[in-house]
Amino acid sequence: MTEIIPSILSADMARLADAIDTVKAGGAAMIHVDVMDGHFVPNITIGPPVVASLRKATDLVLDVHLMIEDPDRYITDFIKAGADQVSVHQEAVVHLDRSIQLIRSSGAAAGVAINPATPIETLSEVFGILDYVLVMSVNPGFGGQSFIPYALQKIQRLDQIRRDRGLDFRIEVDGGVTSQNVCDVVRAGADWVVAGSSVYHSKQPRAAFEDLRRAAQEATLSRI
């Protein structure tokens, strides 16, 4: 099932519970939570206490994207706070296998995110122990950037590798997704598509979410 995952980075940070309820009413099953430390990326966002509050506010899947240096220091804090799935950046860790094991042994699904310029082949050895790969289609740090077109080829190649090797990790795509390109992203092989500003900067976030979801589901059917 293809999912559109609204990113609350672009929502009103004083009204996150409302922002989540709005897309839940439109059928959202997952919420993307962007964690930034001002070091790995130039922006600063939220930490485990906010995730704990979100956990109390919703039963939707909390998809936590760690854009932080040395994520191993914080992985268990985010999972204890209520993260259902956690991704770390390949570029931010030295011992990637250890980070993946830590996420899984702490009870969450494990993902690895790769920046636009990072080849998917850097994950070759760990594809078999991953729950998902997060392909960044913008340089991480901010919402509202434009989709980098060559990310599409990376998604296609990743999907091909998945088929060739008989693996079942999910492919998540994050950054610059709009109603204009969501079909291309899904046809390329994405299972989970993050959408921040195209949902929450819309005048009607629920309708914007529903439109993206409908387009993604049609594109899913057309690729089978």
Footprint on this chain of Zn ion (rule: CB under 5 A): 34, 65, 174
User: Which positions from 52 through 91 interact with ligand DX5, judged by CB under 6 A?
Assistant: 65
Least CB distance to ligand DX5 at residue 195 (A): 5
**Distance in angstroms (rounded) separating the CA atoms of residues 216 and 120:** 23
List 26, 71, 189, 196, residue binding ligand DX5 (CB under 6 A) = 196
Per annotation, catalytic residue among 34, 131, 191, 211: 34
In the three-class reduction of DSSP (H, G, I as helix; E, B as strand; rest coil), residue 126 is classed as helix
User: Which positions from 4 through 23 interact with ligand DX5, judged by CB under 6 A?
Assistant: 7, 9-10
Per annotation, catalytic residue among 37, 131, 174, 191: 174
| Dihedral sign of CA atoms 125, 183, 33, 63 in order | negative
Q: Which is nearer to Zn ion, 34 or 211 (CB)?
A: 34
Least CB distance to Zn ion at residue 152 (A): 18
Q: Which is nearer to ligand DX5, 89 or 97 (CB)?
A: 89
174 is catalytic: yes
Residue 46's binding partner, choosing from ligand DX5, Zn ion, none, with beta-carbon cut-off 5 to 8 A by kind? none
Closest by Cα among 221, 136, 205 to 176: 136
Residue 34, number of CB atoms within 10 A of its CB: 24
34 is catalytic: yes
145 binds ligand DX5 (CB under 6 A): yes
The dihedrals phi and psi of 11, each to the nearest 5 degrees, come to -85, 175
Residue 22, number of CB atoms within 10 A of its CB: 19
* Beta-bridge partners for 217: none
Q: How far, in Å, are 107, 112, 203 from residue 96 at the CA level?
A: 17, 9, 40
List 23, 31, 34, 93, residue binding ligand DX5 (CB under 6 A) = 34
Beta strands of 96-215 (E only): which ranges? 109-114, 132-136, 170-174, 192-195
Q: What does the binding site for ligand DX5 look like in residue numbers (CB under 6 A)?
A: 7, 9-10, 32, 34, 65, 138, 140-145, 174-177, 194-198
Q: Give the active site residues.
A: 34, 174
